[in-house]
Amino acid sequence: MAIVAYSSQSSLFAITRKWLMVVTWQSNLRISLRLAQSLSKPWYPSMNKPPLHDLRVLDFTTLLPGPLATLLLAEAGATVVKIEHPKGGDPARARRSAISGASVEFALVNRGKKSIALDLKSPAENAQARKLALQADVLVEQFRPGVMARLGLGYDALREHNPRLIYCSISGYGQTGPLAQVAAHDLNYIARSGMLGTSTHPDGRPVLPQGQIADIGGGTLPAVINILLALLRQRETGEGCYLDIAMAENTFMWMRRPLAPVLEGGDSPPPGSFSNTGASPRLGTYLAKDGVALAVVAVEEKFWTRFCDLIGLTKSERDDVAEPAAVRTRVSQRLAARTGAEWKTLFEHEDVCVEVAQSVASAFHDAHFQQRGVFDRSLQLSGSQTIPALPVPLAQEFLASDRDGCPALGSTAADDDAVWNR
């Protein structure tokens, strides 16, 4: 009996021990799953939702580089909360259209965002901004280096309580270095980096760029790229990081050709040394008889040969290696003999890489862009007025479909429980 009793007790002990192990394993599994969920958001969002649908972005930026960066995040589904000063908000709001009176430039790059008006120098309102920052996944700011830290909203102050925070600072010359505190704009940045001097007018003045290269190419796009890379790492490690986006230095990536000889130890090529800065008659702009500009990029030999045949340049007249300046003059004379419409008809079905320089209005109505739906998305201004939204370089499948409005200044309250809800 004693042996039987001992065996029964042993069996009961073994069963109890196994049950406790299972319970403990299940409990540990639940804890691990909860921990994993808190540290890492899903790698693969639902196919029915835009890829950034669960991302919270706090935006302290104004004008163009930062707002355009957060627009791209918003268009991909992120909830973007824009912090603006109560007196006037983003300076772009003051740029009103002569047609509608609306702040169209502001609206184009702030579509789908929320606006909270806060004076960051007010202790109470600063505390509200700090609370939002501790709830955010990404913070983007564009103040002069050191301003956010003095306001108590710098990265070091926030990461202690929000270690997952990705903090992106966009500035002209970066957060460190001799130029960190220098005031400048887009044209200043490309002047400093050497880009502006690569192409000049006959009198030696640099040619003004047609787009804001440093603001967008050196600020907006690098900010978005690095934020997305940081998100990939954040979702693997649970840790955020600090991103120092310097617009001036980021324009060097755009200068492969003029940089190459310098990187080899040589001197800067003189202005107009390359085909894309004026050295070749194969690439440039010419005027037709009626003043319409033609963009010629017949760089490859097959395009150049056909182009010369069509405009009537003989083989002896098209040797652009031996006499590039003379060939440019001949091309100019030939193209000035007909109107832009005549040349457009002649070149339309030919592989010669020539385009008539359209006005922006003509480009908007262009059949190709219309057929591809470039301007199909809408932007609602104040009241019932609706215009096409700014096209963004995101694939259609990644675009959020519920963003068409532009926020009025302070239209969302900082203490609104639904501030992060779309």
Q: Is 77 left (phi over 0), alpha (psi -120 to 50) or beta?
A: left
Provide the mean pLDDT of the chain: 90
Residue type, 105: E
Q: Tokens representing 183? A: 């005031």
d(CA 272, CA 197): 9
Q: What is the mean pLDDT of residues 58-77?
A: 98
**Backbone phi, psi, residue 409, to 5°:** -60, 120
Evaluate whether 72 touches 100 at the Cβ level (below 8 Å).
Answer: no
Find the angle CA(125)-CA(127)-CA(129) to the nearest 5 degrees. Answer: 75
Q: Tokens representing 386? A: 């609706």
Residue 36 has pLDDT above 80, yes or no: no
Q: Which 8-state DSSP code applies to residue 151?
A: T
Q: Tokens representing 145? A: 């280096």
At 17, the pLDDT band (50, 70, 90 cuts) reads: low
Q: pLDDT tens for residues 366-391?
A: 999 999 999 999 999 877 789 999 99
Q: Tokens representing 106? A: 């502001």
pLDDT of residue 362: 96
Q: What is the mean pLDDT of residues 19-31?
A: 48
**Measured distance between the N- and C-terminal CA atoms of the chain, rounded to whole angstroms:** 72
Q: pLDDT tens for residues 132-175?
A: 999 999 999 999 999 999 999 999 999 999 999 999 999 999 99
Q: Tokens representing 151? A: 């306001």
Rg value, the chain, Cα: 30
Q: pLDDT tens for residues 224-233?
A: 999 999 999 9
Q: pLDDT tens for residues 124-141?
A: 999 999 999 999 999 999
Distances (CA, A) of 294 to 33, 189, 287, 290, 400: 62, 29, 6, 11, 38
pLDDT of residue 320: 93
pTM score: 0.86
**Backbone phi, psi, residue 378, to 5°:** -110, 160
At 79, the pLDDT band (50, 70, 90 cuts) reads: very high
Q: What is the mean pLDDT of residues 273-277?
A: 80
At 278, the pLDDT band (50, 70, 90 cuts) reads: confident
Residue type, 280: S
pLDDT of residue 106: 96
Beta bridge partners of 169: 141, 244
pLDDT of residue 21: 55
Name every residue whose Cβ is closer than 8 Å to that of residue 49 and which is 6 or more positions away in sequence.
77
pLDDT of residue 18: 54
Name every residue whose Cβ is closer than 8 Å to that of residue 292 and which is 6 or more positions away in sequence.
339, 340, 341, 356, 357
Residue 122 has pLDDT above 50, yes or no: yes
